[in-house]
Amino acid sequence: MNGSSNLAPLVNAINTVIVNPLLALLFAGGALAFVFGIVEFMYGQNEMGSSTKSADQYRADGKRHMFYGVAGMFIMAAAWSIIRVIATTICSGGVATCMK
């Protein structure tokens, strides 16, 4: 019996209980930031100057939030891919035995 077969249940448990829910939560946060940036950008298009922020400031903040949202989602997708590669490397039976 090799050492990698002993690690498969541990890797599966860590992925199922900790990593996958955390990555999903952070991915949702990035998507929410992106949607908030779209709303803020569009609000800046229609701003008539009734608040303390100018229309240009709303658009700039919206662009920034959209960028950070997309960057966050990209980072979460990359982290999920890296974890999948590590699980495939550790588990001798392939990714199917570790990432159920």
Percent of the chain that is helix, strand, coil (3-state, to 5) = 85, 0, 15
Please report whether residue 35 resides in a domain.
yes
Kindly state whether residue 98 falls inside one of the protein's structural domains: no
Beta strands in 9-82 (DSSP E): none
- CA 4, distance to chain mean position in Å, is 29
Q: Is residue 78 part of a domain?
A: yes
pLDDT, averaged per 10 consecutive residues of the chain (100 residues), comes to 62 81 92 93 72 80 93 91 80 57
Six-digit token string for 12: 């599966």
Quick check: is 39 in a domain?
yes
Count: domains in the chain: 1
Q: Is 2 helix (H, G, I), strand (E, B) or coil?
A: coil
Q: Does residue 74 lie in a domain region?
A: yes
Q: Which residues contact 17 (CB under 8 A, 6 or more apart)?
A: none
pLDDT reported for residue 10: 78
**What is residue 31's predicted lDDT score, i.e. its pLDDT?**
94
Provide the residue range defining the domain that includes 18: 3-47+54-93
Q: pTM higher than 0.85, yes or no?
A: no
Q: Nearest-CA neighbor of 19 among 91, 86, 90, 93?
A: 86
Does 37 fall in a domain? yes
Domain presence at residue 82: yes
> How confident is the model at residue 1, as a pLDDT?
45
- Whether residue 99 is contained in a domain is answered as no
